[in-house]
């Protein structure tokens, strides 16, 4: 599994100029530039053999990222599914607040969460419609327990 967020947090901890910019933006809850997110998943995707399987978590949160992944996947060719964990804002807020208490992540603070919801409404809903239109979207009920959601994702991706 490749986590865009983990990759960003690793870069942010690196002590570089880029790391400092990432850390500040992430702490404010900003969605990072699509070109940076695209770069992180592209370098992983290009290194895979055709038979390799991978799950990208936190990738393709903007229209340009989704379109680029689709274009790359068609060209390689590499079939894929985009998993959408459908969850209410109320439940997401509850889970993020709990995670903030447990981990102390700055990007899970109240102000950052509010900004992330605004970003989601502006950008992610378009991505969901795009993946649905190209026939790669799989919707999963994200309000179940972690174990149930995991089992549903594994089943939907044919990894069981």
Q: For each of the domains in the chain, give its residue range(s) and CATH number, in order of start.
A: 2-156 (3.40.50.300)
pLDDT at residue 127 greater than cutoff 90? yes
For the stretch 87-112, pLDDT in tens is 998 998 888 888 888 887 777 778 88
Give the pLDDT confidence score for residue 47 in this predicted structure.
93
For 138-155, give one letter per residue: b (16+ CB within 10 A) or e.
Answer: bebebeeeeeebeebbee
Give the pLDDT confidence score for residue 120 in this predicted structure.
83
pLDDT at residue 27 greater than cutoff 90? no
pLDDT at residue 139 greater than cutoff 90? yes
Give the pLDDT band (50/70/90) at residue 11. Answer: very high
What's the Cα-to-Cα distance from 57 to each of 5, 40, 83, rounded to whole Å?
8, 12, 9
Task: Report the C-alpha gap between 90 and 142 in whole angstroms.
Answer: 12
What is the maximum alpha-carbon separation in the chain? 44
Give the pLDDT confidence score for residue 112 in this predicted structure.
80
106 class by beta-carbon count within 10 Å (0-12 exposed, 13-18 middle, 19+ buried): middle
Nearest to 81 by CA among 131, 155, 41: 131
pLDDT at residue 122 greater than cutoff 90? no
């Amino acid at each position: 599994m490749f986590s865009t967020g983990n990759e960003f947090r690793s870069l942010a901890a690196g002590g570089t100029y880029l790391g400092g910019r990432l850390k500040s933006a992430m702490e404010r809850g900003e969605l990072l530039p699509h070109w940076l997110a695209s770069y992180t998943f592209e370098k992983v995707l290009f290194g895979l053999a055709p038979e390799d399987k991978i799950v990208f978590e936190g990738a393709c949160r903007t229209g340009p990222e989704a379109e680029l992944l689709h274009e790359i996947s068609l060209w390689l060719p590499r079939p894929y599914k985009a998993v959408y964990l459908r969850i209410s804002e109320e439940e997401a807020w509850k889970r993020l607040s709990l995670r903030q208490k447990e981990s102390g992540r700055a990007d899970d603070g109240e102000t950052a969460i509010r900004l992330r919801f605004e970003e989601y409404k502006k950008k992610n809903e378009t991505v969901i419609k795009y993946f649905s239109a190209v026939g790669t979207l799989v919707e999963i009920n994200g309000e179940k327990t972690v174990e149930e959601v995991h089992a549903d994702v594994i089943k939907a991706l044919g990894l069981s």
